[in-house]
């Protein structure tokens, strides 16, 4: 029921897929240090903000590794 999201074009492809998953009822986690975009940085920052505010959670890979090891 929980999906982790990573990839390029975070402000376009990754965000669109994450939103679709959210609308289908999945818990969505964007892994910020595993995403990138060719758009200006403010587009990536806006994506992080929108995910946090509306569509799921944002974390980094080290937090995931720590949680798995505990």
pLDDT at 25: 98
- State the pLDDT confidence band at 70, using cuts at 50, 70 and 90: confident
Query: CATH 3.40.50.150: does it fit domain 2-69?
Result: no
Domain residue spans of the chain: 2-69
pLDDT at 47: 97
Extract long-range pairs of 17-26: CB within 8 Å, 24+ residues apart.
18/51, 18/55, 18/56, 19/55, 22/55, 22/56, 25/1, 26/1, 26/2
Give the pTM: 0.92
Q: Over the stretch 47-56, which tens digit does the pLDDT of each residue have?
A: 999 999 999 9
Q: Over the stretch 2-31, which tens digit does the pLDDT of each residue have?
A: 999 999 999 999 999 999 999 999 999 999
């Amino acid at each position: 029921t929980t999906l982790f999201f990573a990839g390029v074009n975070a402000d376009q492809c990754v965000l669109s897929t994450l939103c679709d998953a959210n609308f289908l009822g999945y818990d969505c986690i964007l892994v910020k240090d595993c995403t990138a975009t060719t758009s200006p940085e403010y587009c990536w920052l806006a994506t992080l903000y929108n995910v946090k505010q509306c569509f799921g959670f944002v974390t980094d890979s080290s937090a995931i590794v720590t949680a798995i090891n505990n």
